[in-house]
Structure 1
Amino acid sequence: MKTHIDPELLEKAGSIFAELGLPVELAINVFLAKAIQTQGFPFPVALDGDSNRNGLVGQTVTNAEITEIIQHFVEQVLPVSEIDNLTQLEYCRNTFGLSFPVLKTTKSVHSEDVRIAVKDAKGRNRYSTSKVAQRDGVSYVICTQWTDRHRPAFLRWQKSYGDC
């Protein structure tokens, strides 16, 4: 495979990565690995800075809306196998680029059980304390750690199960 890298871009990026103590080749490999992992660009791609991300024209979604959608999907739309997938860190990394599972089980919807479940290993809240999804006698807290770079992947995933 023949490649052409713009020499001016390579020089500018090379000096930035040199300051970070990284060879530019490593940075390129990281980019390529992330592209493979996300099955596309590892960041949102848009025209003219609008919300036309990955062909989802005019669609933006807030964290609160994501939480509502996930709650609805867990309770009424998703097959049990997909709910199980959403509790798996590796699946959520590959599907959304998240650092946390989308769902985490909690003993119950009681406030004390939820307060315990929403925290990560360092004691930081990573899940909603106000929205708890329930399905087949199991309660799930919902991840709140969505950023702009996760939204296109979420919208693609949502579309694969139908809009709510």
Structure 2
Amino acid sequence: MEKLREKLTTLRAEADTASQRAEDAEAQNKKLEQELTAKEQEIISLQNKISLLEAEVERAEKKLSDAKLAKEEEENTKNISESLQRKVALLENELDNTEKNLKETVEKLRQTDVKAEHFERKVQQLEAEKADLEKKYDEMTEKYNEKDKELEETLKSFENL
């Protein structure tokens, strides 16, 4: 009987040990499941951050693209402005030359009575040409002023950027 009690005591001890091991394993399993849940939440959080950063990168790339386009437009406007300035200078020179020719023609008309009718026609023709040139000059001056204002507005908008 004593052997039976010893065996029963041994079996109880083994059962208690097994029960303790099972509880420890369950606690370890629960801890690992909590860690797994925490890691999954961290993964979801990092994925959200990645999405936000990708969106931010896209916005930054769009801004960069817009800035490059604005710079190209500025350069084109600058080139057009320089071209118009050269044209205005050429027209001013042409206008000066035309005015000189007109003065010479008027002086010749005064000096020559014999060719008066011929020179009167010439003066009318030159006056019409002068009016056209003045009209062109005024138009070009208006265009130049408009382009100058556009350039200033563009420069101001770039400064505001």
Structure (1/2) with the larger helix percentage: 2
With normalisation by structure 1, the TM-score equals 0.23
Structure (1/2) with the larger strand percentage: 1
With normalisation by structure 2, the TM-score equals 0.23
State the structure with bigger RCO (CA 8 A, min sep 6), 1 or 2. 2
